[in-house]
Chains A and B, each alone.
Chain A
Amino acid sequence: MPEPDDQMLTETGLAPEAPGRAGARGQVLLLACGALAHEILALKRANGWTHLDLMCLPAKLHLWPDRIPAAVEAAVAEHRGAYETIFVVYADCGTGGLLQAKCAELGVEMVEGPHCYSFFEGNAVFAERAEDEFDAFYLTDFLVRQFDAFVWKPMGLGRHPELRDMLFGNYSKLVYQAQTEDPALEAKARDCAARLGLAYERRFTGYGDLASALARV
């Protein structure tokens, strides 16, 4: 499958790769956040996981986390007849346990952890660090590429730069959790930190707990 477009992943999501072949090859549907599509496809390619089909909900749901459980429920209802298993590739993502409860109600499993920043770094390591790093603002590869769509525009910083300190004044640094080695992304991440007035740190995480979670599906 060709790499999906970030704008599409943000706004509309991604339809299942091969719904017509679901019964034969795609026994498992990965119902994922659009922000994870590139990483999941890379893991699929690297591991030859042809039994996994990917569909994504729009990544912009993260701007309204309370809408995520209902969106997951609707997608599970729509696709569960065509797949043997559906695995939800979301962490809690600000739903305060409601997504976990919804998945339990639907009888589907999901990725462990509070959010993707945590499982990319590894939930155990992230939890250990959290005590000393609660003033860090995290970006992943996807969020660096989509910084304007997820941070700059929704926070109104283009129109109202005076809001920057109200919104980010309590943060001390931006941590770029790199899933891939990409000098262009690193330069962009550094620029994001400068625009927010934050110190910059790059941390290569690779795919972290996402890889082991998908390997178990």
Chain B
Amino acid sequence: MADEEDIILSELSDDELVLQMHDDLYDGLKEEIEEAVNILLGRGWAPYDVLTKALVAGMTIVGYDFRDGILFVPEVLLAANAMKAGMAILKPLLAETGAPRMGKMVIGTVKGDIHDIGKNLVSMMMEGAGFEVVDLGINNAVEKYLDALEAEKPDILGMSALLTTTMPYMKVVIDTLKEKGMRDDYVVLVGGAPLNEEFGKAIGADAYCRDAAVAVETAKQFMSRKHNQTA
């Protein structure tokens, strides 16, 4: 549309630009997001503020509309690509500027399952929320989870599955953690399309997260409980 084509990002006020970034994320406009991130940084914004107020807030709207059936997988992927491009600019700066660190998560899709769209969204949103994320990728056997837990010493273990046939493997991992006396060392969050809360409870996870936004909120709650316990 002509009006949208005429928008010059650098001429917008900060507030207008942030709202425009929410729109551009929604529309999956990667180059516009990159340009806007650089504009805000050029105006002296802290990288953490650009990340949370522009990117994470925009992606949260995308997540809500996906949950409500307004947006579909392709639109979410395009938005995620745009956010990833913005985060690529911010990541090195966040490390330099000492952004708040919420905790650490090891995440992976379970053995026999190659589906990673949801897991990748969770990883990205967790990073956006200030978590350090170690992504093990797809098709992870229990040994791979255990090795990563021992090497990375995370606060949270996240497991994802898209298939009815692979989701029971999450219980294999949790049972192994119990056998080894490691279960209580980690918060275990599970997610994936065929899962539900009852399943999460039945296999002994700490919580089932229906989408990336819920995963972030749940992880934050567990971290704040942990901090309260240790304070």
Contact = CB atoms under 8 A, between A and B. Distances in A.
B163 A114 contact: yes
A156 interface: yes
A170 B73 contact: no
A155 B73 contact: yes
A118 B199 CA distance: 22
Contacts of A167: 73, 77, 117
B72 interface: yes
Interface string A97-111: 110000000000000
Nearest to A133: B112
A156 B216 CA distance: 27
B129 to A, nearest CB: 22
A171 B164 CA distance: 18
B167 interface: yes
A134 B72 contact: no
B85 interface: no
A4 interface: no
Contacts of B165: 114, 118, 127, 130
Interface string B131-153: 00000001100000000000000
A121 interface: no
B199 A156 contact: no
Contacts of A46: none
A163 B28 CA distance: 12
Interface in A147-189: 154-157, 159-160, 163, 166-167, 170-171
Contacts of A94: 163-164, 193-194
B115 A170 contact: yes
A92 B163 CA distance: 10
A156 B194 contact: no
Given A92-B164, A96-B164, A163-B78, A131 B195 contact: no
A95 interface: yes
Interface in A109-145: 114-115, 118, 127, 130-131, 134-135
A130 B166 CA distance: 10
Contacts of B117: 166-167
B221 interface: no
Interface in B59-75: 69, 72-75
B214 to A, nearest CB: 15
B113 interface: yes
B78 A170 contact: no
Interface string B149-176: 0000000000000011111000000000
Contact of B112 (A134, A157, A166): A134
Nearest to B114: A170
B110 to A, nearest CB: 10
B114 A166 contact: no
| 5 tightest Cβ-Cβ pairs between the two chains A and B | A156-B74, A96-B194, A170-B114, A114-B164, A134-B112
27 contacts: A65-B194, A92-B194, A94-B163, A95-B194, A96-B167, A96-B193, A96-B194, A96-B195, A114-B164, A114-B165, A118-B165, A127-B165, A130-B112, A131-B112, A134-B112, A134-B113, A134-B166, A155-B73, A156-B72, A156-B75, A156-B77, A156-B78, A160-B74, A160-B78, A163-B78, A166-B77, A166-B117
Given A156-B78, A166-B77, 16 more contacts: A92-B164, A96-B194, A96-B199, A97-B194, A98-B196, A114-B164, A118-B165, A127-B165, A130-B112, A131-B112, A134-B166, A154-B72, A154-B73, A160-B77, A167-B77, A171-B114
